[in-house]
Amino acid sequence: MQEIFVGSEAVASRRLSEHELRRWYRPVYRDVYMPKSVEPALRDRTECAWLWSKRKAVIAGVAAAALHGAQWVDANHPIELIAPNGRPQEGLIVRNEQLRDCEITKVAGLPVTTPTRTAFDLGRHLPADDAVARIDALMHAISFPVDDVLLLAREHKGARGIRRLRAVLPLVDAGAASPKETWLRLLLVSAGFPPPTTQIPVMVGWRLLAVLDIGWADIKVAVEYDGDHHRTNRAQYAKDQRRIRELERLGWIIIRVIAEDRPDDVLRRVAGAIRCRTRSSRSTVA
């Protein structure tokens, strides 16, 4: 017996009785079951959604991005399908949209929208900041040209959300290693700072000292987002401290940001660092 299966098929083939089905298994979606002892992961729920569609749907949206390798997707995130509309139920989003054969691929045996089509859908259907974060994560996992997404937009002229997509794509940056780094970059851009570079390598001779999250290499100002692992892992904390001291000896100003920081405080600190560097440059020239 497979872990994930269609209940009516199992009973019809006499692999299970109705009693056994109810006793040992639970429905994830209508007529699609898993053992009660197993907590469904996102991958499990995605396969369940496809089986629920009678194996006719194509996985799309955030679930498709996760199959392509994008991180930061919660196990309970709704599964999006492109298929003729079925009866609505919790945990599923079904979109009846145009989908060409060249926009479908297979991942782990499941039909999934290609990375380009996945980005096209994310940019149209999600709020702008969330869309940027999701496309950032997708591009961080699997490379594809943004121009291909724009081409898809031209080919699907009139599709819902095209205007939103066109506003989102210029903000996408595959260098963002987490949603919080995307949030930080968008905060800086929306405040009017010059567009920062992501994943800035800092070399000492032939040695790679650091890859900085976000910043401006020409004035040696960087902004680093510190997740919980920087705080709870003592070895990581000690490594970070040594690295920052060496970066400061090389002339970098490092602004460290944590989840509890207020956006206006972050912007104030960044503005102060840039002013400091700008004044220093003018003094040197003078």
- Please give the chain's pLDDT, 286 residues, in tens: 468 999 999 999 999 999 999 999 999 999 999 999 999 999 999 999 999 999 999 999 999 999 999 999 999 999 999 998 767 789 999 999 999 999 999 999 999 999 999 999 999 999 999 999 999 999 999 999 999 999 999 999 899 999 999 999 999 999 998 999 999 999 999 999 999 999 999 999 999 999 999 999 999 999 999 876 556 677 777 887 888 999 999 999 999 999 899 999 999 999 999 998 877 655 554 4
- Overall pTM > 0.75: yes
Q: Which residues, including other chains, have CB under 8 Å from residue 123's CB and lie 6 or more apart?
A: 131, 135, 149, 161, 164, 165, 168, 169
Beta bridge partners of 210: 202
Give dist(CA 104, CA 113) in Å, integer: 5
- Domains plus CATH for the chain? 39-171 (no CATH), 179-285 (3.40.960)
* pLDDT computed for residue 227 by the predictor: 74
On whether the CB atoms of residues 76 and 90 are closer than 8 A, the answer is: no
* pLDDT computed for residue 89 by the predictor: 86
Q: Kindly state the tokens that stand for 135.
A: 């496309």
* pLDDT computed for residue 203 by the predictor: 93
Give dist(CA 27, CA 4) in Å, integer: 10
* pLDDT computed for residue 1 by the predictor: 46
* pLDDT computed for residue 238 by the predictor: 81
Beta strands in 12-107 (DSSP E): 25-29, 32-35, 58-60, 79-82, 92-95, 104-107
CA dist list (Å): 216 to 145, 194, 200, 254, 275? 24, 8, 8, 11, 13
Q: Which residues, including other chains, have CB under 8 Å from residue 248's CB and lie 6 or more apart?
A: 254
200-201-204 Cα angle (round to 5): 145
Q: Which residues, including other chains, have CB under 8 Å from residue 235's CB and lie 6 or more apart?
A: none
Q: Tell me phi and psi for residue 16, to 5 degrees.
A: -140, 150
Q: Tokens 């194509």 belong to which residue?
A: 58
SS3 for 186-235 is HHHHHCCCCCCEEEEEEEECCEEEEEEEEEECCCCEEEEECCHHHHHCHH
* pLDDT computed for residue 280 by the predictor: 61
* pLDDT computed for residue 230 by the predictor: 53
Four-residue CA torsion sign, 125, 41, 225, 200: negative
On whether the CB atoms of residues 174 and 140 are closer than 8 A, the answer is: yes
